[in-house]
Structure 1
């Protein structure tokens, strides 16, 4: 009997899976992501038909829950790591963000007139900086602070996703903020149109207030519908005007992060260093928006193409949130504590009041 000690090279070779088996696991991982994405898509279409209250819940919730479920089941069977290859949060997120830019027609915003853009600029600027400084005062971590400020000031989930890409936030932080967006949007969808009626606001002012304050598109549509058709129209315009500025905010936020936050003490980054560290997807977002706007304006593509790009964007975002749920760490959520909730609550109250004032002055 000969006892032979394995060399380090032999140990690695013995533990490395055969190429054929590795490809099988990769294929299974890709298939699992596709199946879970389809399941999330179906849930997102079916659940809102069950009840009006459920319309405000958007696909990130279903995606994260299904990702968590898949993670738990696969962990029980001991194969989670082998099937993790295609749960690629960053890839899906950045691709979806470029596609988000491709769904924004800048010509539509211009056609709506200056009122929507004026309100959007006022609200984004004031609410963003209010949230930013309140979060700093309460000691919220920098990247989470950026997500909170962007989500409240602009348009909820989409803005949080964009900010997460710009500052390279943790997936737990994005999941946390997404949950807050939906948690606060649900009661506002019912309370705000009722408050607008009680305050005897005109449909135009009510719609501008709703669109400028509520953070998810689904909740904006629901609240506008509960008030009146004219309020729904104006609310949609107001929200679309804010959405159109996501790219600008993402660009400025990413630039600030590279030049100020990530700068080493005593050093001033060169133009090349800024370019190297700058998240390129932000430029992709802006370029995609410009290209689609020009193409639509010149009749090179039809509106159906923009709609299809919107569906494709949603599929990539679903896959991103599935990946977030699949690798979610609850320890990271616990570490955030109560402070982000307090920041979001204060920012929502501030946004509600400022949006009411802006809508009353601009849309009266």
Structure 2
């Protein structure tokens, strides 16, 4: 009952993604999620649809400019995070597959990267769940923390968009935090984050070699192609100016309900399952990528 009422409230468009996430966390730990077994699939589909919808509010030329700016940051941060994650996993004596999933989720795009890499390394349900738990816990914190830090540090929308695209794990929290910061930050962050998500493919292939798995299945994020198509239509089809604002508004509502569902899936059982060592690895990796990216953006950008 409570779940349904709050879900409808999130669909109304009157609350922010951050508040929706908080409401989800309250539901998860008070009344519980009545459809928990379908939650991961639902959030994945809703997020992809919402991201494509946001594409109708973006311009190709601006996106290309943002993508070029974020390319070097993306390459450097992905590989340095993966290398550091490997050594942290060894140091903390975390199971190899769990450690690698946490590293990939931090380096690329959170839950989407974990979902893509897990079948490649043939991780079991517990290993995958622990990695997802770490990422989703830190994502929840990032959605509230990053906009506050951005204002405190007096970052421009351009700087904040670049920073959160690199330093926040999951696309949902990147878009939520950037949307809260401003429209320019949203465009830059979404573009860079989706370009970053394409690195799932080379990282998954590299993973298959390292884990000696020739038959590993690879999930390619095809929805990014639809996002690009939406941007092209918004830029070059004049008639889209009539419907684009409505599509973007619906996409933002979709993002809000997505974050509500993510929060609703984070109950105390998830927190218990994660354990201290994997969470510590996730925090250290997150701290490294956030501080390094911020330093680079403020002093070398």
2: distance between equivalents of 1:94 and 1:221? 19
Residues 3 and 27, structure 2, Cα contact 8 Å, conserved in 1? no
Q: Is the partner of 1:302 in helix, strand or coil?
A: helix
1: distance between equivalents of 2:37 and 2:2? 9
2: distance between equivalents of 1:222 and 1:320? 18
Q: How many residues align?
A: 270
After TM superposition, give the deviation of residue 43 of structure 1 in Å.
11
Matches within 5 A, 1:112-261: 112=62, 115-139=65-89, 141-150=99-108, 159-168=109-118, 169-170=128-129, 171-182=132-143, 184-185=145-146, 187-193=148-154, 206-214=156-164, 215=168, 216=174, 236-237=183-184, 239-254=186-201, 256-257=203-204, 259-261=205-207
When the two structures are superposed, what TM-score results if normalisation uses the length of structure 1? 0.61
Pick the structure with greater CA Rg: 1
Change (3 A) 1:245 1:268: same
2: distance between equivalents of 1:321 and 1:219? 15
Matches within 5 A, 1:1-364: 33-39=3-9, 45=15, 57=18, 59-71=20-32, 84-85=34-35, 87-105=37-55, 108-112=58-62, 115-139=65-89, 141-150=99-108, 159-168=109-118, 169-170=128-129, 171-182=132-143, 184-185=145-146, 187-193=148-154, 206-214=156-164, 215=168, 216=174, 236-237=183-184, 239-254=186-201, 256-257=203-204, 259-262=205-208, 268-269=214-215, 277-279=217-219, 282-283=221-222, 285-296=223-234, 297-298=236-237, 299=239, 302-303=243-244, 304-325=246-267, 328-359=270-301
2: distance between equivalents of 1:43 and 1:184? 22
Change (3 A) 1:313 1:353: closer
Q: Is the partner of 2:270 in helix, strand or coil?
A: coil
When the two structures are superposed, what TM-score results if normalisation uses the length of structure 2? 0.71
Residues 254 and 278, structure 1, Cα contact 8 Å, conserved in 2? yes
Consecutive unaligned residues of structure 2, counting only runs of 5 or more, are 119-127, 169-173
**1:7 maps to which residue?**
none
2: distance between equivalents of 1:245 and 1:220? 12
2: distance between equivalents of 1:113 and 1:289? 11
Change (3 A) 1:330 1:308: same
Structure showing greater relative contact order (alpha-carbon pairs closer than 8 Å, 6 or more residues apart):
2
After TM superposition, give the deviation of residue 32 of structure 1 in Å.
5.9
